[in-house]
Amino acid sequence: MAGIDLDVWLYGALASYGSNSEKKSFSNPKVTLPEGSTLADLLAHLGIPTEERGITFINGQLSALPGLQPDLGHLLCNGDRIGLFDLKSMWPFQYRHGAMMTEEMARAMGAKKDQGLHHTYRKK
Amino acid sequence: MWILRINMANRSYGLEEVPAAYKNLGGRGLTSTFVHDEVPPLAHPLGPNNKLIFAPGIVTGTPASTSARISVGGKSPLTGGIKEANAGSSWAQYLATMQIKALVVEGQPKEKGKYWMAHLTWDASSAKPKAEFFPAQEYAGKDLYEVFPKIYDRFSGKIAIAGCGLAGEYGYANSGIVFNDLSKRPSRYAGRGGLGSVLASKGLKFIVAENKGSPGVAFVDRALFDQGKKKLDEALRTHDITKPKGALNTYGTAVLVNILNEAGGYPTRNFSSGRFEGAAKTSGESIFEGNKERLGKELYNHACSPGCIIQCSNTWHKPDGTEHTSCVEYESDWALGANCGVDSLDDIAEMVRLCNGYGLDTIETGTTLAVAMEAGVIPFGDSKKAIGLVQEMGKGTPMGRILGGGTEFTGKAYGLTRVPTVKRQSMPAYEPRAVKGIGITYATSTMGADHTAGYTIAPEILSIGGQADPLSPEGKAALSRAFQATTAFIDSSGHCLFIAFAILDIASGFEGMVEECNGVLGTSWKSDDAAKVGAEVLRKERAFNEAAGLTKAEDRVPEFMKYEPLPPHNQVFDVPDSALDSVYGEL
């Protein structure tokens, strides 16, 4: 079965999960996975527990926030760029209002009573 | 409480009691009210009829966290409209504890190019603040890093400093008002809109404040204030963004570099792309790791002003471990970095240091350099030549003066169409084509393109905001209106806007902020009054702008954003004009 090549960016504390970490603050591993792989498969491949990641992007579209991860089953495609951030990162609502989201994320936000107008969804 | 008026026509001062109508105002609410009530809308910003107003916030000078904020207002030499810029500094507390509710600088000396300084102290015998004036010619024409230590040496007491740099003396539209930080650096700026040159146009170079013996801030209900402070402190200490060793304390505001870059909303090379290949090297994470490598230990950020829990100000160090500059904020990092195609933190830090030394707004400076690069004056990415251009601004050469006029002025000088400004103020580090909500706020803000104009909403109106589809243009416009109004309240309270991160998620924190204000003023505001109080401020600002000629026709993003698709998402700004007009049309 053909594989898919992924352009993965790991930031902050997650950088150490990348094998080619040139800088401690980020790494950019090139990952090949079997076709049909999901984001959960990528995390397993990298060894990143999903609870250690916060803000996540797939091709520049927001796919997860701290405490809100509707993207584990997202099917990845050849050439996808995935950006994974540690839990210290942030993207305040006012600076992401109207930015692109994955379909799963848009649905998850829409299902929230407050339409997703928060910075974090993590339980204390 | 007093209104202290300084008349620079004859270097005199007077104290007035606070009018009843101004009693519950503070910070931005007060400076904007003064501008609305007293500055002729058609006055020349650098002429004798403009005024410059300084006002601490409602809770400034109290133990409230993040409350050492000073608001500065006047008619802007950059936008031609109303301007409010604010900063965190001990200077704010000194004014508040001397019970100066507002300092109004007016008039203009006949002598051009002569400078004085004012010294504000508490006069125990009369139980009033007083002002003295001294010649300040010896401090003119110099770098602020050279001048600040001399002023600290000159006064024996514990002082705080406000002033303007060379950029103000030259009359640049991108000059800021400088304030000291906690390490006596000239690094805290009410940066935007050219207010530094308004101060210089009054012949006033520095305002030194010394609050020894002052009575402090009076409370109507101290217990209520304490209750509110407890709630707000708790929210700040527990929220992931604002808590100690949280996002801002660890990575600083530059925590947003990699985020906006991944989102494809990080303006690159003069807003020609939304993603910069060198972004990760200039991010907050890289600043943290770079300092760790150069210092041999982790360095968390420091407070810009007394009594802050968040502590987001960073310091960048040279390879030998000595300090290079403070502070490399997200917007400065971006403006002088990605937006100029520059990926060297050391060179970005050098430009930040030069801006601080000359009294320049880092955002407007970076966006102007990028426009100069687009014009071919120097190549994108050539950080050494960029440093050279900033130095020309400091020297006041003809090129420096063109750049000092700001981004739109420079764009005109070179006949460009890709000029990222609204109401002649350049856009900060969020691309409207990729983040549509911020685009609406940029377009409609009374301040020109301003990333701090729409920060949060009261938790109570979250559900109202949510009634309109937040993804529709109308829903986004409704939210932008609510955001701008609530932000005007926070800007009036005396709190740093960054409390917004915590209080949007933790409703008791929002309540706490309002209770703190009630405890000082004796008001009985509830959380959802914040937007109403803020909306009143916006109405005054809007009325001033309309009288100054800034009508809704100026509530637009630059045209190129409507027809140039932005990589990587290849979107244009497609919010209809009717939605933009509804932001203030329905205020």
Q: Please, which residues have CB within 8 angstroms of residue B85's CB and are 6 or more apart in sequence?
A: B71, B72, B176, B177, B189, B190, B191, B192, B193, B195
pLDDT for the residue numbered B288 = 96
Alpha-carbon distance B264 to B557, whole Å? 18
Partner-chain contact B288 A25, CB within 8 Å: yes
Mean pLDDT of B185-213: 98
> So where are chain A's domains?
3-110
In a domain, B390, yes or no: yes
Alpha-carbon distance B86 to B349, whole Å? 22
CB burial class (10 A; 0-12, 13-18, 19+) of residue B575? Answer: buried
Percent of chain B with pLDDT over 90: 94
Residue type, B144: L
In a domain, B514, yes or no: no
pLDDT, tens digit, for every residue of B512-557?
Answer: 999 999 999 999 999 989 999 999 999 999 999 999 999 999 999 9
Mean pLDDT of B198-215: 98
User: Does A27 contact B at CB distance below 8 Å?
Assistant: no
Residue B235: pLDDT band with limits 50, 70, 90: very high
Interface mutation target, options B245, B255, B262, chain A, most CBs of A under 10 Å:
B262
Partner-chain contact B505 A57, CB within 8 Å: no
pLDDT for the residue numbered B465 = 46
User: Does A95 contact B at CB distance below 8 Å?
Assistant: yes
Tokens for B106, please give them.
């007016």
CATH of the domain at B363: 1.10.569.10
Mean pLDDT of B69-78: 98
Partner-chain contact A113 B479, CB within 8 Å: no
Residue A124: pLDDT band with limits 50, 70, 90: low
**Which residues of A are less than 8 Å from B486 in CB distance?**
none
Nearest chain A alpha carbon to B278: A26
Residue A1 has pLDDT above 80, yes or no: no
> Do residues B348 and B451 both lie within one domain?
no
Do B160 and B94 meet the contact criterion of CB atoms below 8 Å apart?
yes
Partner-chain contact B264 A97, CB within 8 Å: no
Residue A53 has pLDDT above 90, yes or no: yes
Residue B575: pLDDT band with limits 50, 70, 90: very high
> Do residues B262 and B366 both lie within one domain?
yes
> Could you count the other beta carbons within 10 Å of the beta carbon of residue A30?
11
Percent of chain B with pLDDT over 70: 98
Mean pLDDT of B211-235: 98
Return the higher-pLDDT residue of B518 and B587.
B518
Domain end residue (candidates: B355, B386, B419): B419
Residue A123: pLDDT band with limits 50, 70, 90: low
pLDDT for the residue numbered B341 = 98
Do B59 and B179 meet the contact criterion of CB atoms below 8 Å apart?
no
> Do residues B389 and B441 both lie within one domain?
no
Residue B369 has pLDDT above 60, yes or no: yes
User: Does A16 contact B at CB distance below 8 Å?
Assistant: no
Under DSSP, is residue B300 helix (H, G, I), strand (E, B) or coil? coil
Please tell me which of the candidates A23, A60, A98 has its beta carbon nearest to residue B436: A98
How many angstroms away from the CA of A98 is the closest CA of chain B? 5
Return the higher-pLDDT residue of B300 and B473.
B300
User: C-alpha angle with apex B294: B290 to B300, nearest 5 degrees?
Assistant: 60
Residue A122 has pLDDT above 80, yes or no: no
In a domain, B451, yes or no: yes
Residue B461: pLDDT band with limits 50, 70, 90: low
Range of the domain at B146: 2-209
Residue B568: asked if its preceding bond is cis (omega within 30°), the reply is yes
In a domain, B216, yes or no: no
Alpha-carbon distance B419 to B339, whole Å? 12
pLDDT, tens digit, for every residue of A7-45?
Answer: 999 999 999 998 655 568 999 999 999 999 999 999 999
**How many residues are given for chain B?**
587
Alpha-carbon distance B513 to B518, whole Å? 9
User: Among B187, B190, B186, B209, which residue's Cα sits nearest to residue B199?
Assistant: B190
Residue B326 has pLDDT above 60, yes or no: yes
Alpha-carbon distance B248 to B139, whole Å? 35
Domain end residue (candidates: B362, B388, B419): B419
> Do residues B566 and B441 both lie within one domain?
yes
> Do residues B468 and B363 both lie within one domain?
no
Partner-chain contact B463 A114, CB within 8 Å: yes
In a domain, B506, yes or no: no
Under DSSP, is residue B248 helix (H, G, I), strand (E, B) or coil? helix
pTM of the model: 0.97
pLDDT, tens digit, for every residue of B494-513?
Answer: 999 999 999 988 999 999 99
> Do residues B32 and B139 both lie within one domain?
yes
In a domain, B175, yes or no: yes
pLDDT, tens digit, for every residue of B135-157?
Answer: 999 999 999 999 999 999 999 89
> Do residues B395 and B444 both lie within one domain?
no
pLDDT for the residue numbered B295 = 97
Under DSSP, is residue B466 helix (H, G, I), strand (E, B) or coil? helix
- What mean pLDDT value characterizes chain B? 96
> Do residues B478 and B372 both lie within one domain?
no
> Do residues B290 and B407 both lie within one domain?
yes
> Do residues B120 and B45 both lie within one domain?
yes
CATH of the domain at B107: 3.60.9.10
Q: Please, which residues have CB within 8 angstroms of residue B153's CB and are 6 or more apart in sequence?
A: none
Please tell me which of the candidates A88, A117, A120 has its beta carbon nearest to residue B462: A117
The domain tally of chain B equals 3
In a domain, B185, yes or no: yes
Residue A113: pLDDT band with limits 50, 70, 90: confident
Segment (H or E) for A86: strand A81-86
Alpha-carbon distance B587 to B576, whole Å? 18
> Do residues B441 and B360 both lie within one domain?
no
Domain end residue (candidates: B354, B384, B419): B419
CATH of the domain at B449: 1.10.599.10
> Do residues B22 and B152 both lie within one domain?
yes
- Secondary-structure class of domain A3-110 per CATH: alpha beta
In a domain, B92, yes or no: yes
